[in-house]
């Protein structure tokens, strides 16, 4: 089954052709980062308008790269939440129109579940098709979410931990702003942290109940430290902050895998690009004899291949949608 996926939930316009939920035939992404950078964050109205300008071209490119025509597509999958309402509607309505004209199934995909499915993707010309199968634990760390999810089977996702305030990526972006770094700040902090001392500043590791997270206190601690003059090189602040985030993410993920008796851990979301997180999670998993799965960076940040993959498993489970499908900006489940 060959699926065309569409992702327009935030500031990436993406279209992708994926076969049987795993083999990526194309994955085209147009980032709007330069449109939003002057504002220090995503401007919803601009995002929606930019998606409208780009979507036709991006879909055409995805089909061309896959070497396939629209009549060779078996179903359409579009992210329909969570995300920005106006932005989501662009991809969703595009998929609806194609589904109507070509009379092929349409499925609305939860963007977060899409992130998890990035771990299933592979490309024909690259080594290492992911052999990940449920059950497994997924840590989804993005600009909007920090979630521990148990994937029991290909269609059952259980949230067992979440953030009480800021998402991990949001904390990276906000701290980057405090440090005077450009948007999006996560990659900038990560780059600086590679040359900094992680124990230069002792930032707090929030302890919240259960398997939950909190990052707003840490963000405030960095803000206070800098407003008192800082006094250590910026790369040391970046490294100490990164270490504080990573320590909590790894500790909670290990506790979750133990609680649920899961031997496979899969990272997902933009923050899964973080080099500090990748290293520390690999060390912790090795120590506990767990298998760790991390998608290549291009499938960690927002992309339509992950949406097409999740769409495939939903259609297999008989969960296609009708043309009345709406967008759910605040949707988590």
Positions touching ligand KG4 (CB under 6 A) are: 10, 142-144, 169, 172-173, 184-187, 190, 269-271, 273-274, 301-302
User: How many residues comprise the chain?
Assistant: 333
Instruction: Please tell me the distance from the alpha carbon of residue 282 to that of residue 284, in angstroms, as a whole number.
Output: 6
Nearer to ligand KG4, 133 or 220 (CB): 220
Nearer to Zn ion, 173 or 302 (CB): 302
Q: What's the closest the beta carbon of residue 300 comes to Zn ion, in angstroms?
A: 9
Q: Which residues lie across from 110 on neighbouring strands?
A: 81
C-beta of residue 299 within 8 angstroms of C-beta of residue 306? yes
Contacts of residue 195, Cβ cutoff 8 Å, sequence gap at least 6: 235, 239
Q: What's the closest the beta carbon of residue 12 comes to ligand KG4, in angstroms?
A: 7
Nearer to ligand KG4, 108 or 184 (CB): 184
Q: What's the closest the beta carbon of residue 111 comes to Zn ion, in angstroms?
A: 6
Contact between 303 and Zn ion by CB under 5 A: the answer reads no
Q: What's the closest the beta carbon of residue 279 comes to ligand KG4, in angstroms?
A: 12
Instruction: Please tell me the distance from the alpha carbon of residue 240 to that of residue 169, in angstroms, as a whole number.
Output: 16
Instruction: Please tell me the distance from the alpha carbon of residue 333 to that of residue 331, in angstroms, as a whole number.
Output: 6
Q: What's the closest the beta carbon of residue 243 comes to ligand KG4, in angstroms?
A: 12
Contact between 113 and Zn ion by CB under 5 A: the answer reads no
Nearer to Zn ion, 235 or 303 (CB): 303
Tokens representing 79?
Answer: 């992210």
C-beta of residue 14 within 8 angstroms of C-beta of residue 6? yes
What is the dihedral sign for C-alpha 287, 291, 295, 296?
A: positive
Nearer to Zn ion, 15 or 221 (CB): 15
Q: Which residues bind Zn ion (CB under 5 A)?
A: 142, 302
């Amino acid at each position: 089954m060959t699926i065309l996926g569409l992702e327009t939930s935030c500031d990436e316009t993406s279209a992708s052709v994926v076969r049987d939920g795993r083999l990526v035939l194309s994955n085209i992404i147009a980032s709007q980062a330069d449109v939003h950078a002057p504002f220090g964050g995503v401007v919803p109205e601009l995002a929606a308008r930019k998606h409208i300008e780009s979507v036709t071209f991006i879909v055409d490119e995805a089909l061309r790269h896959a070497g396939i025509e629209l009549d060779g597509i078996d179903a359409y999958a579009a992210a329909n939440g969570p995300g920005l309402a106006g932005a989501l509607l662009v991809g969703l309505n595009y998929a609806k129109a194609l589904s109507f004209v070509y009379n092929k199934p349409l499925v609305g995909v939860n963007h977060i579940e899409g992130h998890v499915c990035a771990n299933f993707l592979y490309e024909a010309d690259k080594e290492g098709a992911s052999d990940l199968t449920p059950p497994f634990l997924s840590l989804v760390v993005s600009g909007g979410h920090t979630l521990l999810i148990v994937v029991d089977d290909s269609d059952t996702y259980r949230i067992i931990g979440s953030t009480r305030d800021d998402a991990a990526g949001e904390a990276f972006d906000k701290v980057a702003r405090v440090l005077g770094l450009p948007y999006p700040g996560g990659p900038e902090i990560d780059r600086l942290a590679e040359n900094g001392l992680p124990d230069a500043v002792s930032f707090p590791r929030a302890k919240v109940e259960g398997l939950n997270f909190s990052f707003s206190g840490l963000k405030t601690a960095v803000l206070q430290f800098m407003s008192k003059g800082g006094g250590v090189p910026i790369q040391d602040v970046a490294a100490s902050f990164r270490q504080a985030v990573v320590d909590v993410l790894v500790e909670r993920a290990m506790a979750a895998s133990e609680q649920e008796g899961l031997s496979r851990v899969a990272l997902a979301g933009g923050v899964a690009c973080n080099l500090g997180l990748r290293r520390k999670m690999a060390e912790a998993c090795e120590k506990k004899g767990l298998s760790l799965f991390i998608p290549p960076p291009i499938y960690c940040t927002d992309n339509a291949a992950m949406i097409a993959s999740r769409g495939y498993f939903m259609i297999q489970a008989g969960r296609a949608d009708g043309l009345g499908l709406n967008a759910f900006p605040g949707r988590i489940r």
